[in-house]
Amino acid sequence: MKKLAVVALGGNALLRDNQQGTIDEQEQNTTDTLENLVFLLKEGYNLVITHGNGPQVGNILMRNDAGESVYNIPQMPLDVCVADSQGGIGYMIERMLRNVLLKHGIEKNIITLVTMVLVGENDPAMESPSKRVGKSYDKEEADRISAEKGWIFKESPKSDGAYRRVVPSPYPLEIINEEVVESLARQGSIVIASGGGGIPVYRDKEGRIRPSESVIDKDLASALLGGRIGADEFYILTDVPFVYINYNKPDQEIKEFLNYADTMSYLEQGMFGEGNMAPKIKACLEFIEQGGEKSVITEAFKLEDRSYGTKITMEYEK
């Protein structure tokens, strides 16, 4: 049976920090990243691709704000904005990937699935919103909107007087239509799913699916998807070629190979940045816990070069 890999595209795979975010920029970045996945297909892997949506859904939320304030267009809730971003980004990835495969003479079906992800209605995170979304406001405007809409705002960590809305980030429990994702992938189709961590939903007491005004960590949702479809390998593509311990300190050290126990120990010691690398490490460990063979964190454009990337397995590779 062919190996199945889940590849999570980080934000920089689609949009760089120094860019405006034009469609030309995003399409070129996406194409460059997807070129690095071709070798997996040539090696016989089946693929599921997930992706982030931070900048894109942020722009959608700002368009929401502008439409309401200027043209009195009713705002759409956060779950609909996440769905919008999944459709737009998924379309872009699918179209760029079809062109990349054409260039390499590879014939594959590619399908984008708008994906709901189940969270707990009473997840503890719902009581402590922490994920910043949308545009920045000054305190006066933030207070006005908070009083009008009930939104919660927090000041920027930069202490620059800017306030942004914060929403909960609950833990993903189940990928809706995960059986469909696995079936299509194992048949050889490339599936683009669970974009932006998925559209957060919960089941009410009658079993009906309801929207959750929250966002889900993309890497945790990708790891969950990988585990539940029995993927062999999980790749997180980001902007660094390796995982480091004591990052940016005199005793900084590259870790190319890690086992589960040592990685967990480093995580508990706070060796990984809580706002950047720690969530990725947690996702990699969760994939291994669910039976995955290997998790890899590497730079988006160095995936094909096996000398790069941090490989995490249950036991050290021999």
Catalytic residue among 10, 29, 131, 197: 131
Active-site annotation holds for 294: no
What would the two tokens of residue 99 be?
């062109």
Pick the catalytic residue from 10, 12, 195, 309. Answer: 12
Does the active-site annotation cover 12?
Answer: yes
Q: Which residues pair with 92 in a beta bridge?
A: none
Examine the residue annotation and report whether 318 is marked as an active-site residue of this protein.
Answer: no
Q: Which of 90, 280, 282, 292 is catalytic?
A: 280
SS3 (DSSP) at 23: helix
Q: At what angle do helices 54-71 and 78-103 cross, to 10 degrees?
A: 130
Does 276 qualify as catalytic in the annotation? no
DSSP string over 98-134: HHHHHHTT----EEE---EEEE-TT-GGGGS--EEEE
Pairing of strands 131-137, 163-167: antiparallel
| Rounded CA separation 67/44 (Å) | 47
Count of helix runs (H) and strand runs (E) in the chain: 9, 17
Length of the chain measured in residues:
318
Q: Is 11 a known active-site residue?
A: yes
Whole-angstrom distance, CA of residue 249 vs CA of residue 281: 19
53, 195, 196, 218: the active-site residue = 218
Residue 246's SS3 state is coil
Task: At 292, give phi and psi (nearest 5°).
Answer: -65, 150
Catalytic residue positions? 11-12, 131, 218, 280
